[in-house]
Amino acid sequence: MNKRKKMAVKTILTNISVYLILFIFILPFLWMILASFKNQQQILDTSNLFGFTPNFENYVSVFTQYAFMDFIVNSFLVAAASTFFGLLLGLPAAYAIAKYKQSGLGLLILIARIVPGISFLIPWFIIFSRLDLIDTYTALTLSHMLVTMPFIIWVMIPFFEGLPGELEESARIDGCTTTGAFIRVILPISGPGIVTASILAFIFSWNNFMFSLILAGEQTKTLPIAIFNFLSYSEINWGGLMAASVIITLPVLIIALFMQRFIIAGLTGGAVKG
């Protein structure tokens, strides 16, 4: 077999492997979408995956019977707030670590990132209970920042390290302070990294389940917690559960698809030294 044929066979096998992996990952999501348009009997009938008449009863029930719009608003507010304050504190921290080589601080933040979130639940619950902050956006925002802020810092550290040191020096020559140079020069050219960190932090907060399970209540319940509404002792409302799952997944999927160019640019930007 000559070299050209070997390359052709290798390409075909690679394509088959890629499509097989995609099929394995996409199949559960496809089943979830199809099941959201079925009734309970059709969902449990696994012998007929595509032969059904679609209906929107599950989606109507999700928004009318279970008031899912309130949960969407709660999730959006918490994710947006935790991302915003994560950026507000995380960007200066990442720049300080990158510029002044604060490896100890970086290691501490890394430990906070990899420590299981459940380790913080009891202290958070005690503190917020005594401050009467259970079932408030404040408690959820602060707890979700344990996820968003360390992630933002660790995405931005290599990005800031890749920026030329002459940028801040030039700004200081023009009369800027360190803070002024950071705000006026460094942040504007760090757009791709900031966008990437913001998107991924928002997604992580949107999908967070554990902190909301303990710290949220009826007024601040988020989407992952609202899924429990479809589970009962004797029955699982599969149609409503699948419709709710699609609603939870769809915003994240849309963000990922439309912003993938910025995400890739941000993640690879830190690898290029200026």
One digit per residue, the tens of pLDDT, for the chain of length 274 reads 567 777 777 888 888 888 888 888 888 888 888 888 988 888 887 777 777 788 888 898 888 887 788 899 999 999 999 999 999 999 998 988 888 777 777 777 777 777 777 788 888 889 999 999 999 999 999 999 988 998 899 888 888 888 777 777 777 777 777 788 888 888 888 888 888 889 889 988 998 888 888 898 888 989 888 887 777 766 788 888 899 889 888 888 887 777 766 666 655 555 444 4
Question: pTM of the predicted model, to two decimals?
Answer: 0.81
Distant-in-sequence contacts of 181-189, Cβ < 8 A, 24+ apart: 182/92, 182/95, 186/95, 186/160, 187/91, 189/163
Whole-number Å distance between alpha carbons of 122 and 214 = 9
Whole-number Å distance between alpha carbons of 229 and 213 = 13
Q: Which of the 8 DSSP states describes residue 66?
A: S
Tokens of 41: 């009997």
Whole-number Å distance between alpha carbons of 123 and 127 = 6
| Burial group, residue 148, by CB count within 10 angstroms (0-12, 13-18, 19+) | buried
Q: What is the pLDDT of residue 272?
A: 45
Angle at 48 between CA 46 and CA 50, to 5 degrees: 120
Q: What is the pLDDT of residue 268?
A: 58
Residue 7 CA to its chain's centroid (Å): 39
Q: Is 212 helix (H, G, I), strand (E, B) or coil?
A: helix
Helices (H) and strands (E) in the chain, counts: 14, 0
What is the C-alpha radius of gyration for the chain, rounded to an integer number of angstroms? 23
Whole-number Å distance between alpha carbons of 79 and 76 = 5
Whole-number Å distance between alpha carbons of 57 and 48 = 20
Residue 37 backbone class (left: φ over 0; alpha: ψ -120 to 50; beta: rest): alpha
Q: Is 236 helix (H, G, I), strand (E, B) or coil?
A: strand
Angle at 214 between CA 73 and CA 63, to 5 degrees: 30
Length of the chain: 274
Q: What is the pLDDT of residue 269?
A: 56
Tokens of 16: 């088959």
**CB hemisphere CA count around 21 (13 angstroms):** 6
